Structure 1
Amino acid sequence: MPRRPHETAVTKKLETYFTYKLDLIKSEAVRQVNELYRKELGLVVRDLRVLRQIGDAPGISVSALQAATFIEKTVLSKVVSRLIELGLAERSISARDARAFELTLTARGRRVREQADRIGGGHEREVMFGDFSEQELHQLDALLDKLMRSLRAARDGGTGEAA
């Protein structure tokens, strides 16, 4: 049967696209680890991404936190407020700029982060990569780094460096 003018031939199945596979992997990995984090800590991946970034950069501003986590500003504001309410992080006026706030973890926040790191690390070792050899893990890590460099270079006009 001849194709109509507005129809195109299917040349590639959806499941063969890497972006589709990566999205499925990300979604399933986040779903699984969210269950663990919710059950053990009452938090989810997004909360812990913010908590970890604050821990990695004590005194970070909200704008720098947003740039580092790629979380939309209003969502990030809610996450930060929740972490403060839970006593995991604290906000203080910046010593460098009285108009700005700095975020740091509390002692409780540091303990929760350590627990989350154990939970997440265990899930990666036992579930996600349990069937991988050390060589395969190193190779995958190198390939993902290479992919990220390629995407950044394309975004930045081929320079590979942020503008």
Structure 2
Amino acid sequence: MRENAVTKKLETYFTYKLDMIKSEAVRQVNELYRKELGLVVRDLRVLRQIGDAPGIGVSALQAATFIEKTVLSKVVSRLIELGLAERTISPRDARAFELTLTAKGRKVREKADRIGAGHEQEVMFGDFSQEELESLDYLLDKLMQSLKRAPSAR
């Protein structure tokens, strides 16, 4: 039997590296957010999106956050129970709800943004020069554009 001429170790695959980076980054920042705010990254992703798009509906929120509907429903309910967000009936469609942040939600978001920015600056990118950060940002945007243009998986 002929062996495959190209053998690549798992840790050399870009998607594997991205998964490892994401997992470690989320683990670290979840510890900070949980300790300081009692929330996790997923909660704050939803909170931030509601803050960025006041009056957003659940379908648009799901599309923007990439969180599965039943999980998203639980996150939204929790944010409402904590007094961080409000759900009101849409004036345009009585069957739909709109979500907005409360004053408390805006304060929590501001604190979360400071925590997240500090973690990125001090831990994630502490060893990067400004030029390296700009290059990384450019390259990641370029990668995303490439992936969006690519035909579906073959």
TM-score class, shorter-chain normalisation, is over 0.9
Runs of at least 5 residues in structure 1 that lack an aligned partner in the other structure: 158-163
Number of matched residues?
A: 153
Residue 54 of structure 2: aligned partner: 58
TM-score normalised by the chain length of structure 2: 0.95
1:156 and 1:102, CA in 2 relative to 1: closer, same or farther beyond 3 A?
farther
Residue 92 of structure 1: aligned partner: 88
Aligned residue for 1:102, secondary structure, equals strand
Residue 34 of structure 2: aligned partner: 38
Bigger relative contact order, structure 1 or 2 (CA pairs below 8 A, ≥6 apart): 2
- Looking at structure 2, the residues matched to 80 and 145 of structure 1 have their Cα atoms a distance apart, in angstroms, of 29
Residue 127 of structure 1: aligned partner: 123
Between structure 1 and structure 2, the one with the greater Rg is 1
The CA RMSD over aligned residues, in Å, is 1.6
The alpha-carbon deviation at position 154 of structure 1 amounts to: 1.4
- Looking at structure 1, the residues matched to 151 and 136 of structure 2 have their Cα atoms a distance apart, in angstroms, of 22
Which residue of 100, 112, 123 corresponds with 1:116? 112
Moved over 6 A (4+): none
Which residue of 130, 147, 150 corresponds with 1:151? 147
1:12 equivalenced with 2:22 (yes/no): no
Aligned residue for 1:99, secondary structure, equals coil
